[in-house]
Chains A and B, each alone.
Chain A
Amino acid sequence: MAYFDLAAMQESAVKSLEKRLGFKRIFCLGSDAELMDNTNLQQDGRRKIIKDDSPEMLAGGLKRNDVVAVMTGERSLSGKELETLKEIGKPLLIPIARITCASESERKNELRRAKGTVREAMLHGVPIALASLAERQECLMSAQQMLGIGGLLGLEGAAAQRTLGVLGDVL
């Protein structure tokens, strides 16, 4: 099975690492997709990932064709939003670097939040995509490590493997 990752780094910094880390490709924020915020609301043909922080922006963004995934943030998604996500088939992106690169005290909260999100998404049948979204070299990890984190979040075996392949289909 082919695994994919998404990093918030320059393409040149991750290109040499992708095969070694067990990925078919590491996509980069900026070149392959961009985070949608108030500054880039116009549809310019570029693939966008929307954060779930603002319910209004999320509701509008889900209807757009250029939005390929929803990234989890501070807020937990409501049941209705998860149902909509399931209907349109857009994946919920779980950023792993937020857990692994957090300080010791924050890590527990981030883990608990991510685990809850994964559980809710699985209950509603929403596709999940795991991505490192690493901003620094230290936060990048191998596919083997991502699968381990997936297991920690409640995604076992084949389910965890599927989540690492989702980005290849949408980006």
Chain B
Amino acid sequence: MIYRRKLRYLLVESSMPIDLRNRGAEDSLMHELAKLMGELEYFRANVRLAAQPSDTFFILSLNRGYEQSLTLALTFVKKLGEKQIGLRTIRTSGTIKSLKDAYAKLTRLS
């Protein structure tokens, strides 16, 4: 029997512009997360870049139940490559659409 994977999505804001569509930057972020979460937890969480609506916002997907652990790991990421960076989790949701809507609302407000 094949079970449907239940995912959670996290809207994250970066204090500096980063381009995660660039493979090097994404690998560097995932490497940091694996280090902070522990490799086993990282592979169980199955963290992926789901979307990057702008250069300071991105959406990560992960398996349900690992949100807290990823949120904490993102708090401790302070350097990507040579750049000093701060990552802030803005919202968690079960659908990517609601996060895109939340992002659209944020950009309208600011």
Tell me the A residues contacting B by CB distance below 8 Å: 16, 19-22, 100-101, 107, 136-142, 144-145, 148-149, 151-152
Query: Is the CB–CB distance between B76 and A107 below 8 Å?
Result: yes
Instruction: Please count how many residues in chain B sit with their CB below 8 Å of the partner chain's CB atoms.
Output: 20
For the complex, give the distance between the alpha carbons of A141 and B92 in Å. Answer: 15
Instruction: Indicate if B20 sits at the interface (CB-CB under 8 A).
Output: no
Write the chain A residue with the least CB distance to B83. A138
Q: Which residues of A contact B78 (CB under 8 A)?
A: 100-101, 138
User: Which 5 A-B residue pairs are closest in the complex by CB-CB distance?
Assistant: A138-B86, A137-B15, A145-B75, A148-B72, A142-B88
Q: Which residues of A contact B85 (CB under 8 A)?
A: 138
Beyond A20-B106, A148-B71, whether A141 also contacts B76 by CB under 8 A is: no
* A7 CB → nearest B CB, Å: 12
For the complex, give the distance between the alpha carbons of A149 and B15 in Å. Answer: 19
* B18 CB → nearest A CB, Å: 12
Residue from B13, B88, B106 with most neighbouring chain A CB atoms (10 Å):
B88
* B93 CB → nearest A CB, Å: 12
Beyond A148-B68, A148-B72, whether A142 also contacts B89 by CB under 8 A is: yes
Query: Is the CB–CB distance between B106 and A138 below 8 Å?
Result: no
Against A, the Cβ 8 Å flags (1 = close, 0 = not) of B43-80 are 00000000000000000000000001001101110100
Write the chain A residue with the least CB distance to B110. A16
* B103 CB → nearest A CB, Å: 11
Q: Which residues of A contact B90 (CB under 8 A)?
A: 20-22, 142
